[in-house]
């Protein structure tokens, strides 16, 4: 485990030179690590980090900036000896449940203005290949798969995805017409295998992980909504943030910077805040809206898990998300990651955001004594170690009673 001061230095690095200096200063401690940092400038990959596509689609990278740079012992050594090292980068494009339905309608030949705009976005992304990733959609429909609900609809979406993956992309780009190069038997076989493997994966433990992650995010969103509805004035934003931090770090036992960022924006901007705008709608829809927004945060969290090297000396996987949901696009844009630290074969690295919500929130509300006290209580090394100790003792925290109480409060609004 890296010493906290080294992690802090890497979290503050804003350029390749900054990060390389940390490596030079701590060669032994960083021997098995790799650092990925994004920086402003022309993209050195296929797409920029953030694109608003013709047709109304939003393509968002996990990273905040266009250029990606990689640092490790072997890379630095190669740069000294050869002047430049090329790191292979691959990509995948995940899509949410709305985009999935649009894709199905495109493949089925449906025509309306929305479908035509979606097709325009696909044509812009299809050259020379399209690494379409269905996992975010399957994750959102996991409960239905386990319970045997909506299976015809889920089958149709995955079948459409496999058909699109097998189409003649050059012809599609030029004409907008889909010509599948695989037989129907091949498409059906791939659809069946994918859904069968996914069902097995869910039964083997993934379903419970999805439920618990979604429940945790749902609890946090319900609390944010209740705080905002009780005190909607921007003048109360500092006090609302203090109470939310106590709840998140104490009652729920987690620290999620992107959730702090989203909460602060809602407390400051109200209905103008795109990621959480639906929390400002009718009270009767609050529980349902929180549940749906929790999936947006699940997609964001999942994409972080995908940023890693694939296999021995494989390519670095750069995750993108395609959505037509302004809230989800705003979430990715507002909390883009500047860098991440990877260790060995760990599936998920440690990420450092371009925007530091802790610093930004404290600077904005430094006159709020309650907020300062909340930070002093929960954002110290001792508090972090205590949370880790609690998780180690009880890794399966039951948050269902918290959810039920918050849901009851929402129903009484």
**Model pLDDT for residues 254-276, shown as the tens digit of each residue:** 888 888 988 998 998 887 778 88
pTM score of the predicted model:
0.87
> Dihedral (C-alpha) 231, 237, 240, 241: value to the nearest 10 degrees?
160
Q: What is the pLDDT of residue 212?
A: 92
Whole-number percent of the chain with pLDDT over 90: 39
Q: In the structure, what pLDDT confidence band is assigned to residue 383 with cuts at 50, 70 and 90?
A: confident
Instruction: Give every strand in the sheet of 89-95, ordered side by side.
Output: 50-52, 58-61, 316-323, 89-95, 132-133
Element (H, E) at 37: strand 33-39
Q: What is the pLDDT of residue 43?
A: 83
Q: What is each CA distance from 195 to 160, 331, 381, 386, in whole angstroms?
A: 13, 29, 44, 41
CB 317 within 8 A of CB 92: yes
In whole angstroms, what is the distance from residue 65 CA to residue 293 CA?
25
Q: What is the pLDDT of residue 349?
A: 79
Q: What is the pLDDT of residue 192?
A: 96
Element (H, E) at 203: none
Mean pLDDT on 344-352: 73
Instruction: List the structure tokens of 60.
Output: 């968002």
Q: Average per-residue pLDDT in the chain? A: 87
pLDDT digits (tens, 9 = 90+) for 281-303: 777 789 999 999 999 888 888 88
Mean pLDDT on 136-154: 93
| Beta strand extents in 117-236 (DSSP E only) | 132-133
Bridge partners for 91 per DSSP? 318
In whole angstroms, what is the distance from residue 151 CA to residue 153 CA?
5
Q: What is the pLDDT of residue 313?
A: 60
Q: In the structure, what pLDDT confidence band is assigned to residue 80 with cuts at 50, 70 and 90?
A: low
Q: In the structure, what pLDDT confidence band is assigned to residue 346 with cuts at 50, 70 and 90?
A: low
Pairwise pLDDT comparison (90 vs 148), residue with the higher score:
148
Bridge partners for 133 per DSSP? 94
Instruction: List the structure tokens of 334.
Output: 């507002």
Q: What is the pLDDT of residue 238?
A: 93
pLDDT digits (tens, 9 = 90+) for 100-137: 888 899 888 888 888 888 888 888 887 656 777 888 89
pLDDT at 374 over 70: yes
| Beta strand extents in 98-147 (DSSP E only) | 132-133
Q: What is the pLDDT of residue 341?
A: 92
Per domain, the residue ranges of the chain are 1-87+316-348, 88-182, 206-306+355-413
**Where does residue 100 rank: exposed (0-12), middle (13-18), buried (19+ CB within 10 A)?**
buried
pLDDT at 366 over 90: no
Q: What is the pLDDT of residue 389?
A: 79
CB 158 within 8 A of CB 194: yes
Q: Which of 76-80, 253-257, 387-391 has the lowest mean pLDDT?
A: 76-80
Instruction: List the structure tokens of 319.
Output: 């995750």
In whole angstroms, what is the distance from residue 271 CA to residue 252 CA?
26
In whole angstroms, what is the distance from residue 361 CA to residue 408 CA?
30
Q: What is the pLDDT of residue 157?
A: 94
**136-169 core/surface letters (b: 16 or more CB in 10 A; e: else):** bbbbbbbeebeeeeeeeebebbbbbbbbbbbbeb
| 173: Cβ contacts below 8 Å, ≥ 6 apart | 123, 126, 127
Pairwise pLDDT comparison (345 vs 176), residue with the higher score:
176
| 11: Cβ contacts below 8 Å, ≥ 6 apart | 339, 352
Q: What is the pLDDT of residue 224?
A: 95
pLDDT at 211 over 80: yes
pLDDT at 153 over 60: yes
Bridge partners for 69 per DSSP? 37
CB 87 within 8 A of CB 75: yes
Mean pLDDT on 365-372: 86
In whole angstroms, what is the distance from residue 110 CA to residue 216 CA?
38
Q: In the structure, what pLDDT confidence band is assigned to residue 385 with cuts at 50, 70 and 90?
A: confident
Q: What is the pLDDT of residue 339?
A: 94
Q: What is the pLDDT of residue 312?
A: 55
Q: In the structure, what pLDDT confidence band is assigned to residue 181 with cuts at 50, 70 and 90?
A: very high
| 283: Cβ contacts below 8 Å, ≥ 6 apart | 229, 410, 413
Mean pLDDT on 169-190: 91
């Amino acid at each position: 485990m890296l010493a906290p001061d080294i992690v802090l230095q890497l979290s503050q690095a804003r350029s390749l030179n900054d990060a390389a200096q940390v490596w030079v200063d701590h060669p032994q401690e960083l021997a098995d690590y790799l650092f990925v940092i994004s920086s402003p400038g022309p993209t050195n990959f296929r797409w920029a980090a953030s694109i608003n596509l013709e047709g109304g689609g939003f393509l968002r990278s996990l990273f905040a900036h266009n250029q990606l740079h990689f640092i490790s012992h072997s890379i630095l050594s190669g740069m000294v000896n050869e002047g430049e090292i090329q790191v292979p980068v691959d990509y995948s494009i995940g899509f949410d449940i709305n985009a999935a339905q649009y894709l199905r309608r495109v493949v089925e030949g449906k025509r309306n203005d929305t479908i035509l705009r979606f097709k325009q976005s696909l044509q812009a992304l299809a050259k020379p290949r399209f690494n379409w990733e269905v996992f975010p959609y399957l994750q959102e429909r996991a409960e239905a798969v386990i319970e045997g609900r909506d299976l015809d609809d889920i089958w149709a979406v995955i079948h459409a995805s496999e058909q699109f993956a097998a189409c003649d992309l050059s012809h599609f780009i030029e004409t907008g017409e889909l010509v599948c190069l695989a037989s129907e038997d091949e498409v059906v076989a791939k659809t069946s295998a994918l859904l069968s493997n996914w069902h097995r994966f869910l039964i083997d433990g993934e379903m419970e992980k999805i439920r618990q992650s979604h429940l945790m995010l749902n609890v946090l969103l319900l609390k944010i909504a209740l705080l905002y509805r009780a005190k909607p004035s921007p003048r109360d934003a500092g006090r609302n943030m203090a109470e939310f931090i106590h709840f998140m770090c104490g009652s729920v036992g987690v620290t999620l910077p992107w959730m702090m960022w989203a909460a602060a924006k809602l407390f400051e901007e109200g209905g103008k805040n795109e990621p959480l705008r639906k929390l400002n709608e009718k009270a009767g829809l609050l529980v349902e809206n929180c549940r749906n927004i929790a999936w947006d945060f699940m997609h964001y969290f999942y994409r972080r898990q995908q940023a890693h090297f694939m296999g021995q000396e494989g390519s670095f996987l750069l995750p993108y998300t395609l959505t037509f949901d302004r809230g989800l696009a705003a979430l990715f844009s507002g909390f883009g990651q500047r860098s991440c630290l990877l260790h060995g074969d760990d599936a998920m690295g440690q990420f450092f955001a371009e925007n530091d919500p802790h610093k930004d929130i404290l600077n904005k509300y430094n006159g709020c004594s309650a907020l300062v006290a909340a930070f002093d209580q929960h954002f110290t090394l001792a508090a972090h170690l205590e949370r880790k100790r609690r998780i180690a003792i009880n890794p399966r925290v039951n948050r269902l009673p918290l959810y039920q109480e918050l849901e009851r409060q929402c129903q009484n609004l």
